[in-house]
Amino acid sequence: MSAAEILVSGATGRTGGATIDELLKLGKRVRAYVRTDDERAAALRARGVEIAIGDFTNIDDIRAAMEGIRSAYFLYPLASGIIEGAAYFAQAAKEAGVEAIVNMSQISARRESKSHLAQDHWISERVFDWSGVPTTHLRPTFFADWLAYPHFAKEIWASKKIEFPFANGRHAPIASDDQGRVIAHILANPAGHEGKIYSLHGPVEMNHTEIAAAMSEVLGAKIEYAPTSIEEFERKMTQEYKFPAALTQHLVEVAQDYQQGVFAGVNDIVEKITGTAALTVQAFIEKYRDVYA
């Protein structure tokens, strides 16, 4: 493991995969940190990406993956354990002499959050800060990808309705593709980004009625926003989607935060860092329209 200079965790996921795509375009040598050496890892290896196997519960695995690395991306799933994972990642990076970390946080990360996972993300940010390894924290608003996740996309297309408990709240949807480009550019050139907290937004702030209209425009079918209650949303996540309890508790509080404007806002950070503007909702739906086939 002597060639790679950048480590990407979550490499088979959406932001991690987009990060690797952009890093390879930039001509960077990349090592992917993955949990299993499966066909997805094999596909990355075929593209010239080094593979390191492990998870966030074993500091020795993380330390081995950090060998020779200059900058690293930390992505932890929306699940319990992020504080321990961040501590292991930060310590391993410090031991290996890593010069920069990009940490994926979330826009609702704050000390007073009622979501346990959002509060844990805030504490994890502080862990990286305490480590002394220069870290850039990314706090994206609601992902545009929620519109294209298989379980949600299938429901939206079947019913021609978006049924989320967000009332008339607003946000500027941000695609994971755009986040990956931001992550890649910071990893490739971290100077000037150390210690920064960037909120990531798409280019246009919308409510879900406007999002439904944008989807209708691209897909050629009338889609409506049919706001549901937080209680019904919680029931569906628990009984139909079988989401873990920690994720359900987080998303219930996310819905409250969304209604209260925590996810609102717009900026041009994606364009400033990468040189290319973030995708609009229309452009995102066009890019992923196959999921609605």
CB atoms within 10 A of CB 249: 17
pLDDT in tens, 42-100: 999 999 999 999 999 999 999 999 999 999 999 999 999 999 999 999 999 999 999 99
Average pLDDT over residues 170-187: 98
Q: pLDDT, tens digit, for every residue of 217-241?
A: 999 999 999 999 999 999 999 999 8
**For the chain, what percent of residues have pLDDT higher than 70?**
99
Predicted local distance difference test score (pLDDT) of residue 164? 93
21 Cα distance to chain centroid: 15
Tens of pLDDT along 16-50? Answer: 999 999 999 999 999 999 999 999 999 999 999 99
Token readout for 211 is 């999002």
Q: Tokens 């404007």 map to which residue?
A: 261
Q: If you write DSSP's letter for every residue of 195-215 in order, what string do you get? A: T-EEEE--SS-B-HHHHHHHH
d(CA 191, CA 188) in angstroms, rounded, equals 9
Residue 2 has pLDDT above 70, yes or no: no
pLDDT of residue 293: 78
Rounded CA-CA distance 249/35 in Å is 26
Q: What is the pLDDT of residue 150?
A: 87
Q: Is a pLDDT exceeding 60 seen at residue 1?
A: no
Q: How confident is the model at residue 152, as a pLDDT?
A: 86
What local confidence, expressed as pLDDT, does residue 215 receive? Answer: 97
Residue type, 213: A
Where does 15-151 show beta strands of DSSP type E? 30-34, 50-53, 71-74, 100-104, 135-140
The torsion angle over the Cα atoms of residues 24, 197, 60 and 34, rounded to 10 degrees, is -40
- State the average pLDDT for the chain: 96
CATH number for the domain formed by residue range(s) 6-143+173-202+264-279: 3.40.50.720
Q: Is the pLDDT of residue 252 over 90?
A: yes
pLDDT exceeds 50 at position 192: yes
Q: What is the pLDDT of residues 115-138, one digit of tens each?
A: 999 999 999 999 999 999 999 999
In the chain, the percentage of residues whose pLDDT exceeds 90 is 97
64 and 92 Cβ atoms separated by less than 8 Å: no
